[in-house]
Amino acid sequence: MADLLFSPKFVGPTRLEHRIVMAPLTRMRSGVGNVPNELMLEYYTQRATQGGLLISEASPVALTGYGFERAAGIYDDAQILGWKRITDAVHEKGGRMFLQLWHVGRQSARVLQPDGAAPVAPSAIRAEGTAWTLNGTVPYDMPRALERDEIPGLVDAYRQAARRALQAGFDGVEIHGANGYLPDQFLQDGTNRRTDDYGGSVENRARFLREVTQAAIDVWGSDRVGVRLTPSGSYGSMSDSNRHVTFSYVATMLDAMGIAYLHVVQPRIGADAERDPVDVSMLRPLFSRTIIAAGGFTRESAERLLESGDADLIAFGRDFIANPDLVQRLRHNWPLNRYDRSTFYGGGSHGYTDYPAFKGEDPDAHELLQRGI
């Protein structure tokens, strides 16, 4: 193997020393007021490496954007300092960090909404599934369709969140346009039945994603903004009559906007499988800059995809949860800790900051890992 995982790569102006990215992972561990706390500081510091890229957990841009209780937000100035302490610590270890901007749209319940209101969506179509609260899961409620004159306010919420991310010391932002959340709901025609200029044609359905991406670009410049997509995903009971056409249009649109990267969740065997999936091999000819691929990769499958040229970086999720030193474990082919799915959402340090680093046979290995070397 060419060992491309450990070769350098620029993402916009940001130089990375390896191709392993920590995927955005909702963990629901923030403090009062959805402010990043000491526990989150420890978690991200553990996973930072010299020249490595971390993408933060999805951070709601508005109170209406919650589908997971206690997700750390970026909708209030009070949250800036908590995030700033985290970005400072990541930078101290030589790492880089983007903040993922999030609004769940219809994937929510009244119990999580301000004043118990209905969740908002492009169209009043209920999603299948459950929202996460600290007292357990609750079914999604029927959303209400956004009025045309409400949409600019939501776009501005993304703009203000991008500004707070800049103040908090991040290296860039990622628009969460994946997993059936609000931009995805506008984009796919299974969830968008609007008859105004945000519905109908693919150009109209992509308008919300284009506008929130442009709002972030207005703050950061295009080369520090990324977008995440799930072209073959079904999470959130998503569907589109022609995903190839829809996502080809989006990839071309985002390429023309000059964004730093496209973050694509690859189709997997099982719930997200389809006969003719939309994956990075289809999007690569349409997008000229960095592509990050995510989706259950091993070291070997990551190397194969990098060698194909269809992706430039590989995002790891669950293995990063269980292995704070994942980069070094992959570098040296050390065994991985097994993750505990029951501790993914909510809770305290257990299953969050208490996974051990690999000590190995080298007495100096543990110290080096803690220093991110």
d(CA 177, CA 230): 8
d(CA 120, CA 43): 32
Catalytic sites, residue numbers: 181
**Residue range 169-197, pLDDT digits in tens:** 999 999 999 999 999 999 999 999 999 99
**Quick check: 30 and 72 in contact, CB under 8 A?**
yes
**Quick check: 253 and 217 in contact, CB under 8 A?**
no
pLDDT of residue 275: 59
pLDDT of residue 233: 84
d(CA 46, CA 370): 7
Which residues are CB-contacts of 86 (< 8 A; sequence separation ≥ 6)?
36, 40, 41, 44, 45, 97
**Residue range 85-104, pLDDT digits in tens:** 999 999 999 999 999 999 99
For the question of whether the overall pTM of this predicted structure is more than 0.85, the answer is yes
CB atoms within 10 A of CB 38: 11
Question: What CATH number did the domain enclosing 345 receive?
Answer: 3.20.20.70
Low-confidence ranges of the chain (pLDDT < 50): 1, 269-273, 362-373
**Quick check: 351 and 343 in contact, CB under 8 A?**
yes
> β-strands 53-60, 20-22: how paired?
parallel
Q: How many residues make up the chain in this entry? A: 373
pLDDT of residue 363: 37
Domain that holds residue 231: 4-370
Supply the DSSP symbol for 175.
E
Could you write out the DSSP letters of every residue in 9-30? Answer: EEETTEEESSSEEEPP------
* Total domains in the fold of the chain: 1
* 178 residue type, one letter: A
pLDDT of residue 366: 43
Supply the DSSP symbol for 327.
H
d(CA 215, CA 209): 10
